[in-house]
Structure 1
Amino acid sequence: MIIDVANPVAGADRTNPKIVVVNSFLENHEKAVEAVANTIFPQALYNSFGAPDFFKVFDEKVLSKVRKNDRWSGYYFERMTHLPGGSDNLPNPLWDIVRRIRDPDVTALNKFELAIFDPLRDIDDSPYGGQCLSFLSFKLAQSAARKKLNLTVMYRNHYYIEKLLGNLIGLGRLMAFVAREGQVELGSLTVVSTHAVIDQPGKKTKRTDIEKLLADFDAA
């Protein structure tokens, strides 16, 4: 499944009636759109502390509470900002992309990659769990005013009911952060899901509940 989003931040507000519909449905199953978005980009921390200070706040205030083990914390943002087995002496991959994007001496427009999948941590015999987002590829395109940032991401698996909307919002926020700090324009988002599922969150959710959700979304 491939989704193209021309403007990845348009309408990405919790007051948007369409988002309210999805969030209300998910909250009935102890899920939330914002919780999913935060795994990709912690917007509230960025708003409060700015860059690069919010990276440290994330490590100290959030990561220390949510980290389940060294293999997977549940936050893609952790893997974007920490190399496997990393230390304070290793670079922050996401911030390094921002640094190179705004460096006028860096002329390559297609060398801003973020790998989320880690074979040392993610190859196991478990049929479930672990990372679903595998790779992010930022690209700069020339425009009349200034360079424009586009992003293509790949998911190995994607739950379209529970995760898709929150993921789109989180990826849009991530792009907006990189564009703002990199001093370029915000471009489009492309999401490639090599396996997609119309899932049924919760133990009692029926197919008819999903059909009603989609109808309510379209009517919002």
Structure 2
Amino acid sequence: MHTFTVAERDVTQAWVAACNKLDRKDNPDRTGLHTVVRIANPLSDNRVFRAELDRLRTAHGHQPLETIASTLFPAALAARCTGPGELAERYRKMYPAVKRYPGNRLGTYFGRLVDYPGASKTGVDQLGTVIDRLRSQAAGTRMAAAYEIDLATASDSAQETGSELLVHAAGKDNGYRGFPCLSHISFQLARDSRVHAAALYRSHYMFERAYGNYLGLGRLLAYIAQQAQLGCGTLTVVAGHARLDGPVSQLRPLLSGTSPLAA
């Protein structure tokens, strides 16, 4: 079994390190099991590198990285809202139209966070619940790790306890590949008043999705921390199955730092 753990300062360095761990002669299928990528500052990345990666992705028919990131956190919409309540309400109103976009037929990750298809007729807004719990917990004396976006159970437990945010809906999401590959996000409040997040993917395609997912998860973590009046901590991404997909020979100059734009 090929596995690895990488810990880097920003999104770019973490993504490059993970890809290089997969692109090894002793790993001919370029896959890994139970891989761990830890990003100390998930709001930081190399914009020049991102632009070059986006150019290569566009040439191969993939969506821009910002589009991928926005499925996890719609930063532009959030900037126009007064808080998580308005953000959730406006996104729920937009959600039917969002689902009509190519690739969104089953929904988006952020849609599952603010409009989870639970047992009740109305969707569950998990985002606001988690922010409220973090804010309340930080005002007390006991730190805990009970702030979770669980994308893998079909219950309304978020309404009852505020401990889970659901994305994957059991009994509804039965595909072997595709949405939702993200199954769980867990938030931990540290004693230094910073919020850390850990996301679990059942599979992660490094060229097609991972960089954009890191960006979106980092922005989601930062938003939750800011709205709870806390600091933004580290992001850890665990993939049950990771694959270095795409045009590997064209990626290698970027991964080695020899690309003219990445240098």
TM-score scaled to structure 1, two decimals? Answer: 0.84
- Alignment match, 2:146: 111
CA deviation vs aligned residue, 1:13-35 (integer Å, no higher than 9, x gap)? xxx11111111111223321001
**Any conservation in 1 of the 2:182–2:202 contact (CA below 8 Å)?**
yes
Q: Distance in 1 between matches of 2:234 and 2:213?
A: 15
- Correspondent of 1:48 among 55, 80, 83: 80
Q: Displacement, 1:199?
A: 1.1
State the structure with bigger RCO (CA 8 A, min sep 6), 1 or 2.
Answer: 1
Matching residue of 1:81: 114
Deviation at 1:129, TM superposition (A): 2.3
1:100-179 to 2 correspondence within 5 Å? 100-103=133-136, 104-105=139-140, 107-116=142-151, 117-123=168-174, 126-143=175-192, 147-179=193-225
* Residue 36 of structure 1: aligned partner: 68
DSSP 3-state at the match of 1:152: strand
TM-score (normalizing by structure 2): 0.71
Match of 1:210 among 217, 226, 251: 251
> Do the aligned partners of 1:9 and 1:173 also contact (CA within 8 Å) in 2?
yes
Q: Percent identity?
A: 28
* Cα distance change on mapping 1:217 and 1:32 into 2, 3 Å: farther
Distance 1:23 1:185, change over 3 A: same
Displacement of 1:162 in angstroms is 1.5
- Give structure 2 stretches of 5+ with no counterpart: 1-34, 152-167
- The RMSD of aligned alpha carbons is 2.4
Please state how far the C-alpha of 1:214 moved relative to its aligned partner. Answer: 2.8
- How far did residue 177 of structure 1 move? 0.4
Asked if structure 1 preserves the Cα contact closer than 8 Å seen for 2:39 and 2:236, the reply is yes
Aligned pair in 2 of structure 1 residues 70, 106: CA closer, same or farther (>3 Å)? farther
Q: 1:148 touches 1:187 (CA, 8 Å); kept in 2? A: yes
**Which runs of no fewer than 5 residues in structure 1 stay unpaired?**
201-205
Report how many residues are paired.
204
Query: Separation in 2 of the partners of 1:114 and 1:155?
Result: 12
Q: Which amino acid aligns with 2:249?
A: T
